Amino acid sequence: MRLGGPARYVAELSAPEDITKAYRFVREHNMAVAVLGGGSNVLGRDEGYGGVVLLNRLCGLRIVEEGGGKIVIEAASGELLDDLAAFTAQRGYTGLEATSAIPGTIGGAVMQNAGAYGQELSDVLVAVKAYDTQRDEFVTFTRDQLELSYRHSIFNSSEKGRYFITAATVELHRDEIEGELYGSLQAYLDQQGITNRQPMTIRAAVSAIRAEKLPDPAVYASSGSFFKNITVREDQIAEYRARFDGIPIYLIGACWEIASGWLVEQAGLKGKLLHGMRVSDKAALILINESARSYADLACARAEITQAVQKKFGLTLQQEPEELG
């Protein structure tokens, strides 16, 4: 978003020993610490950050096992999620192709169980390696220990700040994406006359959709999808569809979700400029900083949007980007 003040200290970490040295410094000086991967899903406050910001630069993709129609890969947490999606889709494996072009690293993707267009990292995740800052040791978690759900894991909830994620192991299979496709993805395939669902076909389609709708954070001051989709119980779906004609509700993983971008658009805010923040005219879930000068400007824009959606639908939007400070 290109908002927020400076950090007191910044350190780049490219090896496990860098992690232990950095946290030794943190403990010795009794300082706050924050971890950044690509930083595309993080907001800074105007007062800056008084502690240490650790930049995750751990790299490497390693094939652990391949054969019998499956592949197991260990990906360092500083690798880009999009590079892992490309690596697997090019080899014909399904499970991550719909996450193509998501900006950010594997570590950030694990922390918030990143996903898009009907796929989530939790669909393929097997294990996660991390440094335990409390016990000063490296540990391994199985998938079942991570409490994964929509944009949620132990790393951004019950154990937030305790662990530095170092690597993730994923398992994918040779196949095609199954089930009902996310609305905009299916619409794109229909428009292009595409009927096959091979991983590279879906990757190309998702990449094209994102390029059209979602601003590149390296070019535009944006943190991508600003609001989380709203999760609802299955027994609530009929009620919402009866009350709000055309409301998009999809099954993502094990959760039913209402598309928050549609709610913002129906509230009449698509394309609007609010306190220097532009609600994208291509995808209403996206906020772009055109002229906002402070975090306070962003906060005012966020409040207006959430209030408008609450008034029209009785639903409360929740911010997706994490915040430093």
CB 268 within 8 A of CB 242: no
Q: Which of 74, 257, 304, 320 is catalytic?
A: 320
Tell me the DSSP string of 137-180. EEEEEEGGGS--BTTB-GGGTTTTTTEEEEEEEEEEEES---SS
CB neighbours (10 Å) of residue 235?
8
At 7, list the tokens: 């950090």
CA-nearest of 129, 205, 215, 207 to 165 is 129
Which residues, at least 6 apart from 299, have a Cβ–Cβ distance to it below 8 Å? Answer: none
Sign of the CA dihedral running 188, 80, 277, 120: positive
- In our burial notation (b when 16+ CB lie closer than 10 A, e otherwise), range 169-195 reads bbbbeeeebeeebbebbeebbeeeeee
Task: Identify whether 225 is a catalytic site residue.
Answer: yes
At 26, list the tokens: 């943190």
CB 106 within 8 A of CB 73: no
Q: Which of 225, 265, 280, 302 is catalytic?
A: 225
Q: Which of 40, 77, 151, 302 is catalytic?
A: 151
Task: Identify whether 97 is a catalytic site residue.
Answer: no
Task: Identify whether 291 is a catalytic site residue.
Answer: no
How far is 304 from 285, CA to CA, in rounded Å? 14
Tell me the DSSP string of 251-270. EETTEEEE-HHHHHHHTT-T
Q: Are strands 42-43 and 33-36 parallel, antiparallel or unpaired?
A: unpaired
Within 42-125, residue ranges assigned H as helices are 81-90, 106-111
CB neighbours (10 Å) of residue 93?
23
Question: Residue 231: enclosing H or E segment and its boundaries?
Answer: strand 230-232
> Catalytic residue numbers?
151, 225, 320
